Amino acid sequence: MKTDKQRIVITGIGLTSPMGNNLAEFRDGLLNNGSGITHTEIRHMGVVAAGLCKFDEAKYQPKKMRKRGTRAGAISIYCTNEALLDSAIDFEGIDKNRVGVYLGITEHGNVETENEIHDLYNTHQMDVSLWSHHHNPRTVANNPAGEVTLNLGITGPHYTIGAACAAGNLGIIQGVQQLLLDEVDVAFAGGISESTETFGIFAAFKAQGALGHHENPTLATRPLDINRNGIVVSEGGAVYVLERLADAKKRNAKIYGEIIGYHSNSDASDFVLPNTERQIECIKTAIKKAGIEINEVDIVNMHATGTMQGDIQECVAVKNIFDGHPNVHVNATKGFIGHAMGAAGALELAGNIPSFTDGYIHPCKKIENLDPQCAVNNLVNGEKISHDVKIILNNSFGMLGINSTLIVQKYKE
């Protein structure tokens, strides 16, 4: 039996997504057939489908600091401050040396570097003396978490976790581990992405034949549909306030849920093609660590990016583990908001957490023509369903074969 000091709970959530800038807006879109995908013009690419966020960058930082910083930093600052506000922590009264910031990212620095190179060629006539002196602090890998510490005066540890599209889960896992190690008392943990501001990621997916497209942008991302044609790149972020249960109880905190299990492993088999066997191992190990039975899982949120082979590989893994367990329901989120890269795992978990209180499982965005190879049991498709949700299992997998599974339970004494 774990003590309250060994139990890690979520006491705050802050987010921005292509479908809303707080949890209530995001959840409403998931339950009521919303969409955050629009057409936008990207340098060198023309018009593409993308998931864009529209939040107030100046809400928590002055324009001078935003000018020095990055889009990734702006997303991180917004989400962290929103999470802090939501948690109702007396931030002035706590030791900032005991606060940590752990943010998952896919990549960082591409946006600013591409802009600077564009200016170097087109505005500055190759005069490198006009290169921005902000380049180095903008592009170092710890930038997003570091900008948060500058913004909030946090003097505890901060770093980013480069984990491709598994990064959102890995940021949360890192926060949990640091709390269990007694390195910090409060962890701001999650994932962020500024990917829609870089043409390079769009160009690379297009060259790979994996960039989702459709004349109707809301149909450009169609995970599990037999007519799917690739990924829709999105931006966003979700940051969680994590605490030990003992500390949360002391201040009578609102508790969203308890993190009871997690695991991460590596495929070691291909740069981009997922490995079903390693995914199965990751999911089963997380369930074992959580100390639960397979049939106790209520929701499996699939990674489901909308690529042809990636969706099939994951569905094979899900069917292998969960077929024959009628309590387990499967959903996916990227049909609503696209692929938010480093933010995906954290955002998609956030979208499911309200199930603990509102009693619904959000569906996949309506799949008109389900790929027979993606036909998993109890797939929630098109319409929300009522269900007493107690356990959520969240999958996030990424390039270079990094896999992650995170399990959250409805809080109980």
What's the pLDDT score for residue 276? 97
Distance CA 204, CA 156 (A): 37
8 Å CB contact between 176 and 84: no
Give me 137's structure tokens: 């602090």
Q: Confidence band (pLDDT; 50, 70, 90) for 109?
A: confident
Render the burial of 345-369: b for 16+ CB within 10 Å, e for the rest. Answer: bbbbbbbbbbbbeeebbbbbbebee
Nearest CA among 191, 209, 221 for reference residue 35: 221
- Going by pLDDT thresholds of 50, 70 and 90, the confidence category of residue 229 is very high
pLDDT digits (tens, 9 = 90+) for 17-75: 999 999 999 999 999 999 999 999 999 999 999 999 999 999 999 999 998 999 999 99
**CATH code assigned to 261-405:** 3.40.47.10
Residue 289 one-letter amino acid:
K
Run of H or E residues at 378:
none
- Interval 360-368 mean pLDDT: 97
Tell which residue, 22, 46, 16, 50, has the closest CA to residue 35: 50
CB 16 within 8 A of CB 8: no
Beta 8-16 vs 257-266: how paired, if at all? antiparallel
Q: What is the pLDDT of residue 269?
A: 97
- For β-strands 37-42 and 257-266, DSSP reports them as unpaired
| Token pair 């890995």: residue | 170
Could you check whether 8-250 and 261-405 share the same CATH topology? yes
DSSP line for 319-368: HHHHTT-TT-EEEE-HHHH-B-GGGHHHHHHHHHTTHHHH-EEPPBS--S
pLDDT beyond 90 at 119: no
Kindly report which listed range (80-94, 107-121, 212-226, 247-261) carries the lowest average pLDDT score: 107-121
Strands (E), 37-126: 37-42, 46-51, 99-105
The average confidence (pLDDT) of the chain is 96
How much is the average pLDDT of 152-170?
97
Q: What percent of the chain has pLDDT over 70?
A: 100
165-186 average pLDDT score: 98
What pLDDT shows up at residue 191? 98
Indicate the helix (H) or strand (E) that contains 11.
Answer: strand 8-16
Task: Supply φ then ψ for residue 15, to 5 degrees.
Answer: -155, 160
- The class of domain 8-250 in CATH terms is alpha beta
* pLDDT tens digits, 299-352: 999 999 999 999 999 999 999 999 999 999 999 999 999 999 999 999 999 999
pLDDT of residue 357: 98
Query: With bands split at pLDDT 50, 70 and 90, how would you rate the model's confidence at 217?
Result: very high
163-184 mean pLDDT = 98
Q: Where are the domains of the chain?
A: 8-250, 261-405
Q: Is the pLDDT of residue 297 over 90?
A: yes
Cβ proximity of 279 and 262 under 8 Å: no
Closest CA to 303 of 340, 266, 329, 271: 340
DSSP string, 141-155: TTHHHHHHHHHHT--
Q: How confident is the model at residue 250 (pLDDT cuts 50, 70, 90)?
A: very high
pLDDT at res. 232: 98
Measured CA to CA, the distance from residue 390 to residue 378 in angstroms comes to 17
Predicted pLDDT at 129: 85
Q: What is the mean pLDDT of residues 74-103?
A: 98
For residue 107, the model assigns a pLDDT of: 84
Whether the model clears a pTM of 0.85, i.e. scores above it, the answer is yes
When pLDDT is cut at 50, 70 and 90, the band that residue 281 belongs to is very high
Low-confidence winner among 112-121, 168-177, 248-257, 355-364 (lowest mean pLDDT): 112-121
Q: Edge-to-edge strands of the sheet including 46-51?
A: 37-42, 46-51, 233-234
**DSSP for residue 60:** S
